[in-house]
Structures are given as structure tokens and as C-alpha cells.
Amino acid sequence: MLNAIEWCDDHLEVIDQTHLPARLEVVKLSTVDDVVDAIKRLAVRGAPAIGVCGAFGVVIGLREGRTRDDLAKTIGDARPTAVNLRRDVDRTLQADDALDEALEIQAEDRESCARIGEFGRAELADTTRVMTHCNTGRLATSGIGTALGVVYSKFEAGEPIEVIATETRPLLQGGRLTAWELHDAGVPVTLIPDSAAGAALQAGKAGAVIVGCDRVAANGDTANKIGTYQLAVFARAANVPFYVAGPLSSFDPDTPDGRSIEIEFRPPEEVTNASGIDVGVWNPAFDVTPAHLITAFITDAGVLRPPFSVTIAAAFGAQK
Ligand code: MRU
């Protein structure tokens, strides 16, 4: 499988995820405008992937002669919810050698995915069927993914694993991307409409729910793809453990709780496209799952359990 994001001397080559699964098209991003456009229209998506793309966008922007302030704003604000984008943009802007830094961020992301995969494999040693939401795999990161990284780790180790993937309305990251990715890798996957998730959990079809994250606040409240919160509620009602997998780079200790997380709103057409009807639309791209509904975080620094305000702070303390 191709890498979702590849640096090629003076430009980026990325898989345009808006065309999947109909066609696998690689597009060239040669300017800051190309990079921002790709992030905004979700050609490149997933918290770690937009961070890496933004970092290389800074490299391109500095070569274009744009100022640091301009790049911090133009690229850093392209999408507001995932903390990775702003953090990776700022980190690259502050580095002595922007290209080295962007390549380092990409390598760290790849390594983080591998560690999440192994920690998750140990944590879910007895789980053979998981439900997931959105796409958190090879398309969303520079490595094997976060929640899907756990799945790939189990699969590669020869352990039995099946995935129930939610479609993830309205842009179908589950139906188009996760289903495509897992099918391509040979991992058994069953696709369900989002509206079947409660019934599937009630019927015992998954031993755990595992999702990714765009921003985890200091108290463990977690922003992730819209629909994640309802999965957490259904999981609690069905007594199924609910895991969030993600690198510490998706945690934001400066955000105290979920109320402080900026949620991106997307155009109404994403929702009305299916019907063509002209009515009011409320289309948040993310929701916040309160920490008390989360069983544990599977991170690149190990599995973090409640009380999260303590264990998250300790994980950041150990990183220094
Ligand atoms: O709008 P998207 O497709 O970028 O949303 C992605 C998600 O919500 C993912 O779950 C999250 O970014 C983690 S990807 C490893």
C-alpha cells in the first residue's frame, strides 16, 4: 500500500482520500495553497496526517518566502479541532531546519503508531471483535494507524480479529476508507450504518469499541469524529469497554476540558447532498466524549487509566 503522505524533494505527494474507494489518485501539493486546500477538503485527513502535512506545508511556505506569522495562521488554522496540526506547524516553524523537523515529525508518528499497536494488542489480548468509527489507519497517519493500528498489530501477530466499521456519516470515512483499507489488508470487516451501532453492541457483536482522537483535554474529555460520543454512550449501556487510541501528540494539556475544544463545523451540502433538499443543517465534524465514558487511552506511552487528569499529567511529566 502507498503512503498517505510522501515528501518528494520539493513537494508533497498525497493520496486524495476524497476519491476513495472509487479510485486511488495521488495528487501533488507544491504550494501552501495546495496544502491548505487538501487539508480543508479532507483530501488529507486524520489528526496525525494533517499534522505531518502541515509540517511539510511550512517547509514549502518558507521556500515560497512567506513569513512565519502568515504560515502559522494560514496552515495552522486550516482545521481547528485536531491539536496535531497547530502543534506540528509551530514546531516546524521554530526549528533550525524545517525539513529535518518535518521528516522527524513524520518518523515519530510512524513510531508512535507501532507502539500504540503493541500496547493495544496486549490490552485487547482476549478481544476478537472490535467496533471502530471513522478512519484511524494508514490513511490517517504515517504508520499503521492508531485504533486501526491495534487491529493491524493483532492481525500481523496472527491473532483472531474482526472489525465492525461504522459508515461515519456524512463523509463516510468508515464506509469508504476504513472498509477499503481493511479489505485491502485482508482484515475481516463488517460495515454497519451508524444507526445500527447501538443494536450491534446490544447484540454482543463487539467485545470492545476502539476509536481515535483529534484532541484529548487534560481531564480526558476527547474530541473525535462526530458520532463518537453516541458510541461511548451505547458502549456504556451495553457494558462494552470503550477505548480511545492515540499518540500523546493528540493530547493537549493546555486544554483543561472538553468545553474548551473548538469544534469544526462543515458545510451543509455534506449533509444535504444525499437528498438534495434545501433545509437548515447542523453539521459539526466532531463531538466530545466525556472522560467518564472512556475505559482507557491506548497511547504511545502506554495505557492510561482513570483518574485521567492524574495519568495524563504523569505521561506528559515522564516525556520531559
Ligand atoms: O474529519 P477527519 O476525517 O479528519 O476526522 C478524523 C478523526 O476523527 C479520527 O478519528 C482522528 O483524527 C484520529 S486519526 C488517527
Q: Give 150-160 pLDDT, tens digit per residue.
A: 999 999 999 99
Give the residue numbers spanning the domain of 279: 117-319
Same domain, 85 and 220: no
> pLDDT tens for residues 43-69?
999 999 999 999 999 999 999 999 999
Phi/psi at 188 (5° precision)? -60, 125
Q: What is the largest CA-CA distance in the chain?
A: 58
Q: Do residues 49 and 141 make contact, with C-beta atoms less than 8 angstroms apart? A: yes
> pLDDT tens for residues 13-30?
999 999 999 999 999 999
Q: What is the pLDDT of residue 275?
A: 86
pLDDT beyond 90 at 181: yes
> Atom 8 of ligand 1 has which residue's CA nearest to it?
225
> How far is the CA of 72 from the CAs of 56, 88, 89, 173, in angstroms?
13, 10, 6, 28
Question: Looking at residues 127-149, what average pLDDT do you find?
Answer: 98
Percentage of residues of the chain with pLDDT beyond 90: 97
- What does pTM read for this prediction? 0.97
> pLDDT tens for residues 265-309?
999 999 998 888 999 999 999 999 999 999 999 999 999 999 999
Q: What is the pLDDT of residue 2?
A: 75
> pLDDT tens for residues 65-112?
999 999 999 999 999 999 999 999 999 999 999 999 999 999 999 999
Q: Which of 214, 252, 287, 300 is catalytic?
A: 214
Q: Which of 247, 209, 212, 260 is nearest to 231 (CA)?
A: 209
Q: What is the pLDDT of residue 249?
A: 97
Same domain, 53 and 123: no
What is the spatial distance between Cα 244 and Cα 202, in angstroms, rounded to a whole number? 20
What is the spatial distance between Cα 168 and Cα 140, in angstroms, rounded to a whole number? 15
Q: What is the pLDDT of residue 274?
A: 82
Report how many domains make up the chain: 2
Question: In CATH, what number is assigned to the domain containing residue 145?
Answer: 3.40.50.10470
**Of 84, 108, 132, at which residue does a domain stop?**
108
Count other Cβ atoms within 10 Å, centred on residue 249.
Answer: 21
* Residues contacting ligand 1 via CB (< 6 Å): 42, 45-48, 82, 134, 136, 140-141, 145-146, 173, 212-214, 224-225, 285
Question: Looking at residues 193-217, what average pLDDT do you find?
Answer: 98
Same domain, 281 and 132: yes
Count other Cβ atoms within 10 Å, centred on residue 267.
Answer: 10
Ligand 1: which of 45, 167, 222, 286 to mutate, judged by most atoms within 8 Å of the beta carbon?
45
> Atom 10 of ligand 1 has which residue's CA nearest to it?
212
**Of 75, 108, 141, at which residue does a domain stop?**
108
**Of 108, 143, 177, at which residue does a domain stop?**
108
Banded model confidence at residue 319, pLDDT cuts 50, 70, 90: confident
Q: What is the pLDDT of residue 43?
A: 98
Question: Looking at residues 222-241, what average pLDDT do you find?
Answer: 98
pLDDT beyond 80 at 144: yes
Query: What cell does 65 get?
Result: 518566502
Q: What is the pLDDT of residue 106?
A: 98
Same domain, 93 and 121: no
Banded model confidence at residue 7, pLDDT cuts 50, 70, 90: very high
Question: In CATH, what number is assigned to the domain containing residue 64?
Answer: 1.20.120.420
Question: Looking at residues 224-228, what average pLDDT do you find?
Answer: 98
Ligand 1: which of 88, 115, 134, 262 to mutate, judged by most atoms within 8 Å of the beta carbon?
134
3-state helix vs strand vs coil in the chain, percent to 5: 45, 20, 40
On average, the pLDDT of the chain sits at 97
Same domain, 163 and 131: yes
Burial zone of 66 (CB within 10 Å; 0-12 exposed, 13-18 middle, 19+ buried): middle
Q: What is the CA(257)–ligand 1 centre distance, in A? A: 19
